[in-house]
Amino acid sequence: MDQTIYILRHGITEGNQKGWYYGFLDLPLTDEGKQDLIDNVKNSVYPDFSEFKKYTSGLMRTIMTLDIITGSSDYEVIEDLKEYNFGIFEGKTIDELRKEPIFDIWLKDRDFKIPDGESSNNFIARVLRGYEDLVSREYDKKLMVCHGGVIAVLMATLFDDEENVFSWIPAPGRGYRVLIEDGKISYSEVWFMNGIIDSIGNTPLVRLKTYDRNNVFAKVEGFNPGGSIKDRAALYMLREINDKGKTIVEATSGNTGIAISMIGAYMGMPVIIVMPENMSEERIKMMKAYGAKVILTKKEDGMAGQLKKLQN
C-alpha cells in the first residue's frame, strides 16, 4: 500500500532548554515551545492533517504538540516510538553525566544497559519495531509525533546512513515526510524559514558516491540565496555592524557585492558598491535590483582605482 507518513518531533521542553538527557521523563512543552508551534501553524509549515490518522508516543510533550498542530485529541499511541529510556541518566546534563563512570561505558558499548533504562541496541530494535507497527496500520495518510532520537534512528536506518545518525535529528516541531510508493521510499524535510537570511548556510550536504572507500561530502554553496559562498561572509559582517540606516560601502568585483546588496536591503542598510566597469552587466543589474547604488571605475585602474574612489 502506498503511504504518506509525516514524522514530527515534539515542541520545545524544559529538557531541551537546559540540555538534559531525557527520554521517558514526561515533560510538558514550555510556553516558548507552544508559541513556536503556534507560529509554525500560522506560517503554514504543516499541511492540512484533517484526513490523516494521528499517532503519538503517549508522552505529554507529543500529545501537546499534536493538539497545537492539528487541534485534535483523537490519536492512537505507539509506545515503541517513545524516546530512549535513559534510566538513571534522566534529567541530567552532559557535564553531570561525565562524572559518572558508567556514562563512558554506555557511550562505547551499544549493548550496555543503563540502570533502570535500556541499551542503545535495545532502543534501536524497539524503534524499528514501532515503525513496522506504524506502517502496518491500515491508513494511507499518517501523522506520527514522537522524538528526536526516534526520528534520527528511523531516518538513518531507512536511508542507509547509520554513520551520520545524529545529523537526522530535526529541530523541535520539525521532521520529515516519508513517501512509500510502489515499494520505493523517499523523503522530504518539514521546515520553515522566517526570511531569506535564514537560508544562508543551509545549503545541501551531498554525498559524492563516486568515492567508494570514504564518506566524501560536498557543501553546495551555490544554493545560498545570493548564489555563492560569499553570502556567509557578508551576513557575518553586516550582523556585526547591525545598525539600521547606516550606509555600507564596498569595493568588490562581484559575488561579495551581490551578497552585501541583498543582505543590506534585508537589514535596512543602504549599500554603495564600487566596482570596475568591465564587470558583467548581470551582476550590476542584480546589485541594483537589491537597491544598491553602483559606482563604476575604469577597468585599467584595477583595485587601486576602486579604493581611491572609496576614499573620495
- pLDDT tens-digit map of 218-245: 888 988 999 999 999 999 899 888 777 8
Strands 92-93, 141-146: pairing kind: unpaired
Nearest to 174 by CA among 57, 18, 33: 33
pLDDT single digits (tens) 182-223: 888 998 888 656 567 778 887 777 767 665 555 677 888 988
CA distance 168 to 174: 11
pLDDT at residue 191 in the model = 66
Q: Answer yes or no: is pLDDT of 264 > 70.
A: yes
Greater confidence, 283 or 128?
128
Q: Is 38 exposed, middle or buried (0-12, 13-18, 19+ CB in 10 A)?
A: middle
pLDDT at residue 11 in the model = 97
Q: Which helix (H) or strand (E) holds 276?
A: strand 271-276
Mean pLDDT for 97-122 is: 96
- Cβ atoms of 33 and 122 within 8 Å: the answer is no
Angle of the 255-267 helix axis to the 281-289 helix axis, nearest 10: 10
Mean pLDDT for 162-166 is: 89
pLDDT at residue 208 in the model = 72
Superfamily of domain 3-191: Phosphoglycerate mutase-like (3.40.50.1240)
CA distance 160 to 163: 9
Can you give the residue ranges of every domain in the chain? 3-191, 230-311
Instruction: Report, at the CATH architecture level, how domain 230-311 is classified.
Output: 3-Layer(aba) Sandwich (3.40)
Nearest to 203 by CA among 238, 231, 240, 164: 231
* Phi (first) and psi of residue 175, to 5 degrees: 170, -145
Q: Answer yes or no: is pLDDT of 146 > 80.
A: yes
What is the band of 312 on the pLDDT scale with cuts at 50, 70, 90?
A: low
Mean pLDDT for 112-128 is: 98
Decide whether 3-191 matches 230-311 in CATH topology.
yes
- Cβ atoms of 252 and 262 within 8 Å: the answer is no
